[in-house]
Structures are given as structure tokens and as C-alpha cells.
Structure 1
Amino acid sequence: MRSTTTFIAAVLAATTLTAPAHAAGDVIRTDTGLVSGTHGSFQGIPFAAPPVGANRWRDPQPVTPWRGVRDATGPAPRCAQDAGLGSPASDTEDCLYLNVSTPKMPGNRPVLVWLHGGGFASGAGSDYGTDRLVRNGNVVVTVNYRLGAFGYFGYPGLAGSGAFGLADQQAALGWVRRNIRRFGGDPRNVTLFGASAGGLSACAQLTTPRTKGLFHRAIIQSGPCQLGLPAGENRVQHTWVPREQVEEAGRTAPHGCADIACLRGLPTAEVKKLTPLFSSPAYGTEALPRNPVTALRQGDFHRVPVLTGTTRDELTVFVAMYYPPLDAVAYEQALTAGFGAAKAQRILAAYPPTGGDERVPLSAALTAMTSSCTTDELRAQTGAFGYEFAEPRPPMIFPGLPEFAYGAYHGSELPFLLRYGTVELSAPQQRLSDEMVRVWSRFASTGQPGWDRRDVRVFATGPVAPADHRCDLWAG
């Protein structure tokens, strides 16, 4: 019986090297065991050992091979996180899993590896439906990675401190290189793409030696590559939650301790309390040796084709979350507080009051400073292709936000590429979605999106004038 089972497994492995099956019970052999999916979808495949117990705050460890066939027909748990902006809560640290979706066509297909956003504090790979990209002939992989205090906690002398979530992404890319051919994908044609924190992750992975050869193109969506990251292993997991506060949690917890061994024993719920709304990885580790800002400026990055862009009104969501409606006086006061009197006057001249809710020009100014102009800088540094998503009335993907003129807000391009929640597109928006999916697929296949590097492609359902983000104001 054992020899028969071995023979069947060998046949299964051989027949899945070039084209994935699409029966109701697809079985494929990975390098750690057999997985069973359905109709080309394989969910919850482990790419690293559970980061629990002694593995908490360690680089991802190898998966223990399993016997038999592992069920891969349902999503794995999302990484530990609080609920926020439509993302449900989780208390699970055993979360290092990925999902693979395959098209109904011969193998050796382009591969797209998706890194979700969520401020390094929330989200999961399973939040996103990949069927549009799969129908265009791509194999798509979505990835979980550790978040918040679990992914970015810094501690003196702790190897990998501050960048465990980035190391998880690297482990997932390694899994793709070893296994994706068996799912019909080409391991020599892998595109890493992500949005927001996932886009910033793609920036980081573009500059670290660990990922050399693991991907061959990158798409950076609303990823602020010029955002400065904290440095060094004993920096905080985020500037809002210092290491001392994590240690204090250890001292005041029932464990009554503050050393790293004892901190690893803290209940998940206690550590989760220390995660702010937005976290941040640190550099100065093996996962990310250099500050990506410096590496990009000095030309020290993987020479792969890059497509990068933003939404036209990136910061409207955040301004609406953190500012009440502003009149002209309050608008000037906010600029003066943030930039000083002299710079505030120059910003006011470029983004004058409208006579209405002055959060609108404030959002435009902050969008230019943090997103649009820094993306232009990234294009100049890397020779990247550029785009801007400018759909004026996209569907809202974040529930519970106050009424505001959001425009093409941060994240609004996502449902045009990936299915997200119950968001529905209008007929013109569906046509725009089809166009964008074709562009992303063309880039994944060839490294060429279909326009000149000197141009910025604008995506919208109707004619939209090119935006002037007044980048001279923000230079330097």
C-alpha cells in the first residue's frame, strides 16, 4: 500500500509541474507535503512554522513536513490584530500561510505575489479576491505576515528585531520560488506587488540582498518609499509604543518579568494591546540592512522593472479621520503648526482656501508632500513606470468614515484590481477595472505596462486633466 501511495504521489507531482488541475479535489505536492484545493484555489498553505512560543519574535522557521493530504480549501487565520477600518480582529499568532489561485490554462504562467496593506497592523491575504487577475492568465499568491507588536517589536540584542514581518514576506517568496511551478507558475517570472503598507514592503524588499532573484518585477501602489523608517534593533516597534512600555507590560503581567524569554510567554492579548493604529518596520537587520530611502537614492536596489503610482487624493481618508471641518483660520493654524509660519504661507499660496471645508486643500497639500511627489522621486531614481488613479467617485471600501469629499482616496484603486468585501463597481468602472487588470497583467508578463517611462498614465472612467501636485514646493 505504501509503495502504491508513493507512486500516486509521484504521478501527481509530475502532472502538476506544467498545468494545474481544476477538478473538485485538486491535489498538488509542495516541498513539505500534499495539499488539496478546489477549482484552482489553494488556501491556507503554510510557508513557515507557527511563530508561537519560542518562535515569537524570531525569523520565520521551516515548516515541519506533514503526512497525508492537507486540506487547503478554506482560508487560514489572519495574524493577530485589532479590528479597524473594516478589518476583523484576530487573536491568532499561528498565521504564516499563503493562498494560491491558478488559471485554467497551460502552465508556466506569470506569478503575482500580493502583499496586503493595513499600516503593518491589520489585514490578511485572504481579504482579497484574485479572480480578475487569474482570468487574465496569472497565478496569484496572497500572503499573511506578522503585524504590529508581533511583527515589528524591537529589543536590544534580539536578532531580526523590528523586521520580523518583512522576514515573513521573504520566506513566502522563497516558498514561491521552490513550489510555484507545481501550481502552473513560472518561478523565473514573479512580480511582487502591494498597496499601502504592502507597497512600502515592496520598496523594502527591492533594496534588501535577501530577496535577490526571488522576484523579477515590482508594482508599488501607494507605497511611500521615501518614508523614513526607524533604525537599529533597539528602536521601538513604532515610535508611539516604546520598548519600555512592552517591558512594563511584562513586569505588571501575572508573569512578573521583563526579559525576552518571559515576554515570549505573555498572552497574545497582552501583546496585541501594544500595537498602535499604524506600525513600522525597522532597518539595520539581516532582513533589511539599509534604510530603503538611502539605498534607493544611491542606486543600491534590485534592477528589475518597476511600476509605481498613487491615487490622486491619497490623504483625504486620513485628514477626515483626524481633523474636524476646518475654516480658513483653522487651516492656516494647522499649516503653521506643522510647517512653521514661512513655509505655511508658501503652502497657502499654492493651496489657497476654498471658502468651504478647508480640509480639501489641506488634503491636497499633504497628498503631494507624502505621496505624489515622493513617487515622482522614486520614478526618477529607479526608472519606474508611473500611473495615477484618478477616478473621482470610486466606491468606499472603509466603513464608518465621516462624510467628506474623498475623491480618489487612499486604497480606492483596490476593488478595480482585486475583489474586496462586497464592493460593487458601476458599468463604466467595470470597464476601467478590465483595463487596469490588463495593464497589471501585461506588466507581470513582459515588464512593460504599455506607455513610455516619461509619461504618467491616468486611470479614470472619463477625461481627467493631469494633476499639478506642485512638487517644487516640496523638493528637499
Structure 2
Amino acid sequence: MATKEAIQGAAAAALIFGAGLSAAPSPAAADAAPYGLTVITDRGGIRGVAEEGVRRFRGIPYAKPPVGGLRWRLPQEPAAWQGVRQAKAPGPSCPQTGELAGHSSEDCLYLNVTAPAAGPGKLPVVVWLHGGGFSSGSGADYDPARMVKGGRVVVVTVNSRLGVFGFFGHPDLPDSGTYGLADQQAALRWVRGNITAFGGDPSRVLLAGESSGGISVCGQLASPAAAGLFQRAAIQSGSCKPDWTGELSAPGDGASQLWIDRQTLQRRGRTAAKLLPKPPKCADAESLACLRGVSAKSLLALNGPFHSPAFHTPLVPQAPWTSFAKGRFTKVPVIEGATRDEHTLFAALFDLKDEAAYRAQLAKAFGAAKAVRIAAEYPVSRYRSPALAFAAVGTDFTAACPAAHEARLLAEHVPVYAYEFADPNPPGPDLGMPLAAYHGSELLSLFDMGQSYRELKPAQRTLAAQMIRYWTDFAATGDPNARGLPKWEKFDGDSALSLAPGAISPTDYTKNHNCRFWATLE
């Protein structure tokens, strides 16, 4: 799915409009006061910086560098250090192509903590998992200062292994396809052991993520090893739907698996060396030892086949949707939702000039028989263009209805709060068609990404402040309802809270997105 990786990476880039203390030190007592700029962790002292009314601690190692013999191994505890480590700059992003490639390294298992400048401790904690198709992005892309100040929380953004480094599989690797997820759990263990020193409460941790970050949250809910590491979860535009049909997210894009079973992945990895560019090339295509010796830059050529997390593994014993259906998951309150127009960002890539092109593309994606039914349900005449009709199909099929189905499964066991981000005109890239509430557009309300916040109009800034209150109240109590905000009812199987500037209100989510039609089509 190399094409889709590129699309998701481009989408992320478009949003960034501009971006046991055995060897512990003993800093000066005054400098190491609680919630100051020098903090003692279980590995040693770190010193952050004060910026914009918050304290920032960047580039904190939460595991040993997964290099050399630690490539494709579970994350290991980081080494302790002497003295005070400077925590002023983020660590490198994990190996990837695209805009962040020049700042990436296999030595990438770092996290960033942003905390209020002062005030009482024991604040709720938000651990954020970034998106990017499991092949791009970095925790440092997301500036949580507004969330920290507006919601009185501590926010932790995380790097975890991506692509072939995080999700490679091979018969000789029992943890195939789960190294990136294991990294996230290591970061959560770090939070449990250290966040008190930053003013956070390890018993009130919200694990949240968008796109592949949301899919990661699904995996952590289904992973017994993650139980107790977080107490609330937020899945944003990242349901655990098993797969996507081809020719829907990008022209020529094949069908993709969002999750893959371990045996299939390991068979794929057995001959992965044959796919390497020349040079290098392993003489024995099945040699794991040879692959461990290949440079990180060369291994990126294998990202396409290896960017899906695996189940039937020690970390994720069952597919997440199976775990949810059987009630075998970590029972915590959940926020689940998507944007109203998820697929516009992808539909803009297709050349759909007229109805004939639209119908032909539907046939490529769904087959001739289903395409006829879909075209009747989503006629071009109902939309401003064939591309917007195709976007509605993609939104409902890939995002909205899977999210509703997943929320329904979860709601049988835990409180679920469903939402739809519905801003009709958020800042975004110019792709030649109206994007409306495109994939990832809600992120601009929760985080600063480059110059994005400056692009928000006053009503959008008000919505952003309201959303931050919903999310951070949820982190604090497991219930997003805060005094003075419109009531957010628990999910009842159909309804969700529509989030738009000046218009927060309940909406019939499954009706709006034709979910009953899609249930008959499967």
C-alpha cells in the first residue's frame, strides 16, 4: 500500500502549515523542586524549558535504541545516566520517507511531556499516538500547549517504530508485526512510573490517537498486556475495520489490510529480502540475520508490505474486532468518532469529471454488481460533483459506519461517547475541491500544528476550546460533560455529538451515513 502511505504522509504534512534509580543524579534541591524545570525520572534527571506558559520536556528516552541486535526485538528498558540530561529538543522521528526522512533515525524511541507551568499536581494525563498510516509522522508534530493550559492536563506525545521497523514479520520472530505497539506499551509503562514527577496522575490516563494512532488505541484495548496502563481511550478516525477495498483511497491503490494475522505476515516476511533494492541484496532471501544487517535507508523499501499490526500474537491474541464482539478487552470508557467528510482528502486524487467516470471508479472499487447499488444510493445528482459523491461513499464505507459499528460493540460493555467533527470549512490544503471536515481536520482544534491555529476563525477557536474541555474532562473523570457545555449523551447505537462552530448538537450518525445500507451490502 505504498501509494496510500504517501497519501497519508502528504495529508499529515498538509496539516502542518509552516510543523529503580541506580544511577540517578542529585540536582540542586531548589532546582529539583516538584513541578520545576528539573525533574527526576527513574533513569536520571532531566531539564526542560519554560515556553508559552507551559513546561516542556522533549526527547526523553523511554526504551533503549532499537538498533543492531535490538532491531525487531521488544523494547528494552533505557539505560540510566549520570547528571542532568537536557530535554530541550525532540528526539529523531522513526525511519520514514517524505518530509521527516532527513530527521529520522532508528534511535527514535523518545517521548515529549508538556505540563502546566505551575499549580497543583495529580493532573489527568493524555498520552497521544500520532497518525500517518503506521509509516510516517512523529509525536513532535503535535503541540499540546493549548490543551495543557485550557484543560489543566499533562500531555505526553510518543514516537514508536513505523513501517518495516515496527511491523515486520518473519517465522523466526515470535513478536512479528507488533514492535510498534509494544513501543507504545513501553511508553505507557514509563508514564505509569514517572508522570507523577511532572504533576500527572498515573491513575487517570487517557490513551488517544487519530488515524493509525486511533487504530493503535484499538490494538491496546484488545491487548491483555496493556490492561491497567490507561483508564480511558479515544479512537479518532481510526476504527479497527479489518480491511479496505482497493481503488478507493488512491488511483491504482490495491486492497489493504488494517490488521493482518501473524502467519500471513510471517509468510510475507520469509522472502522479503527479494524485494530489497540492489545493492544491498541478501544471498539467502529467508535470512533474518542478513536483514538485520541491512541499512535503515535500504530497509525503507519494504515499508509497503509491512505497515499493518498483527494479531494472533502474544501482544494481540485476537483481532480487535473479535475481542470487542466477545467483550474481551480492557474495560474503560471510550470516545469514538470521525470527521463528517473523511474521504474528501482522498477523493480529490481521482479524475472524476463526470458520472461515467464516477460509476467506473465504483466498479473498480466494489465490483460491477455492488457499484450499481451504490450509484443508486449515492447518485451524482445529489452532490456538487462526482468527486464529492465518491467522497461520501468513501467516508461512509471506510470511516463512519465502521466507527458506529465498533462503538456499538464497545457500548455493550463500557460507556461510549460518539462524535462527528463537522466544521464545514476548517483550514486545509488546496486540492481543487471543497474538503469540508476532511480526515484529520479535527486535530487543528486540539493541537497546534505549525501555523494552523492562526488560520482558525473566532468561532472555530471557540469550538477548539470547547473540544479541549470535552476531551480533558473525559481524561479527568471518564465523562466528557463539563459545566457550561452542550450535553454529550452516551452512545445509544445511532446518535453522536456533532461538533461544528456555533453548532454543537446531537445528530443521527447512522442515518446520516447510510449505515443500514452498507450493512446490507456486505
- Normalising by structure 2, what TM-score? 0.83
Structure 1 residue 421 and structure 2 residue 450: aligned?
yes
2:57 aligned partner: 42
Structure 1 residue 442 and structure 2 residue 455: aligned?
no
Which among 442, 453, 458 is matched to residue 498 of structure 2?
Answer: 458
1:302 aligned partner: 330
| Unpaired runs of at least 5, structure 2 | 1-23, 244-258, 482-487
Identity of aligned residues (%): 44
Q: Which amino acid aligns with 1:287?
A: L
Q: Is this contact kept in 1: 2:164–2:306, CA < 8 A?
A: no
1:278 and 1:426 map into 2 onto residues whose CA distance is: 40
1:272 aligned partner: 300
Deviation at 1:187, TM superposition (A): 0.5
Structure 1 residue 359 and structure 2 residue 387: aligned?
yes
1:474 aligned partner: 518
Deviation at 1:246, TM superposition (A): 3.3
Deviation at 1:209, TM superposition (A): 0.3
Deviation at 1:473, TM superposition (A): 1.1
Q: Which has the larger displacement, 154-163 or 175-184?
A: 154-163
The 3-state SS of whatever aligns with 1:102 is strand
Structure 1 residue 350 and structure 2 residue 380: aligned?
no
Q: Is this contact kept in 2: 1:119–1:277, CA < 8 A?
A: no
Structure 1 residue 388 and structure 2 residue 420: aligned?
yes
Q: How many residues align?
A: 455
Distance 1:278 1:415, change over 3 A: farther
Q: Which amino acid aligns with 1:470?
A: N
Deviation at 1:338, TM superposition (A): 2.3
The 5 Å alignment of 1:206-217 reads 206-217=221-232
Q: Is this contact kept in 1: 2:27–2:84, CA < 8 A?
A: no
Deviation at 1:336, TM superposition (A): 2.2
1:166 aligned partner: 181
1:267 and 1:61 map into 2 onto residues whose CA distance is: 21
Q: Which amino acid aligns with 2:333?
A: P
2:305 and 2:89 map into 1 onto residues whose CA distance is: 28
Structure 1 residue 373 and structure 2 residue 388: aligned?
no
Which among 134, 138, 141 is matched to residue 120 of structure 1?
Answer: 134
Cα deviation 1:284-338 (Å, max 9, x = unaligned)? 22222211111111111111000011000101111223x1133111111222232
Distance 1:314 1:271, change over 3 A: same
Q: Is this contact kept in 2: 1:282–1:288, CA < 8 A?
A: yes
2:86 and 2:337 map into 1 onto residues whose CA distance is: 38
Deviation at 1:349, TM superposition (A): 2.0
Q: Which amino acid aligns with 2:40?
A: R
Q: Is this contact kept in 1: 2:171–2:270, CA < 8 A?
A: no
Distance 1:106 1:127, change over 3 A: same
Q: Which amino acid aligns with 1:385?
A: Y
The 5 Å alignment of 1:2-401 reads 8=27, 15-16=33-34, 20-21=35-36, 26-39=37-50, 40-83=55-98, 87=100, 89-103=102-116, 104-135=118-149, 136-228=151-243, 229-233=259-263, 235=265, 244-249=271-276, 253=280, 256-258=283-285, 259-276=287-304, 279-321=307-349, 323-354=350-381, 357-383=385-411, 384-396=416-428
Distance 1:287 1:326, change over 3 A: farther
Q: Is this contact kept in 2: 1:43–1:99, CA < 8 A?
A: yes
- Normalising by structure 1, what TM-score? 0.90
Q: Which has the larger displacement, 144-153 or 454-463?
A: 454-463
The 3-state SS of whatever aligns with 1:129 is coil
C-alpha RMSD of the superposition = 2.3
Q: Which amino acid aligns with 2:133?
A: G
The 3-state SS of whatever aligns with 1:324 is coil
The 3-state SS of whatever aligns with 2:234 is strand
Q: Is this contact kept in 1: 2:176–2:266, CA < 8 A?
A: no
